[in-house]
Structure 1
Amino acid sequence: MCVGVPMRVVSIEDGNAVAEIDGVKREASLMLLADEVQVGDFIIVHAGFAISRLDEEDARETIAMMREAFAPEDMA
């Protein structure tokens, strides 16, 4: 299963963003996005690429659902 993860952009340099969620940081290319991305924006990161920009409310809702779906107690 492939999952795109909502992450908050913490820095941008040379067309690449560093994005973070729960202390985990990943680099993501911004080359697939038509939308302008700023530090503090939320993006969906999949396989090293930002594939979508989303508003904070949608990002937080998605993150909450992912945390619930992938909760460690479900991994028995």
Structure 2
Amino acid sequence: MCLAIPAAVTKILPDEMAVVSIDGVGKEISVALIEDLAVGDYVIIHVGYALTKIDPEEARRTLDLLRELSVE
């Protein structure tokens, strides 16, 4: 099973790369598949690649559900 999760873009880098934040943790990813990306956008990431943009409200709902699932 594969898991792709929402992340907020915090910095655009050269060479089709960006930094995203996942619950406050920064990760450098490829954004080669995304056009017109801006800081503050949310993307779905999988194995270091942004696959698509996602609506911010949908991203927040998904992240909230993931947090609920991780509660022990």
CA drift at 1:64: 0.6
Task: List aligned pairs for 1:20-39, cutoff 5 A.
Answer: 20-33=21-34, 35-39=35-39
Partner of 2:43: 43
For residues 41 and 53 of structure 1, the distance between their equivalents in structure 2, rounded to whole angstroms, comes to 7
- Paired residues, what number? 71
Task: List aligned pairs for 1:59-70, cutoff 5 A.
Answer: 59-70=59-70
Q: Please list every run of 5 or more consecutive structure 2 residues that lacks an aligned counterpart in the other structure.
A: none
Q: Please list every run of 5 or more consecutive structure 1 residues that lacks an aligned counterpart in the other structure.
A: none
Alignment TM-score, normalising by the size of structure 2: 0.88
Q: Which amino acid aligns with 1:8?
A: A
4+ runs deviating over 2 angstroms: none
Alignment TM-score, normalising by the size of structure 1: 0.84
CA drift at 1:60: 0.4
User: Larger Cα Rg: Structure 1 or Structure 2?
Assistant: 1
RMSD over aligned Cα atoms: 1.1
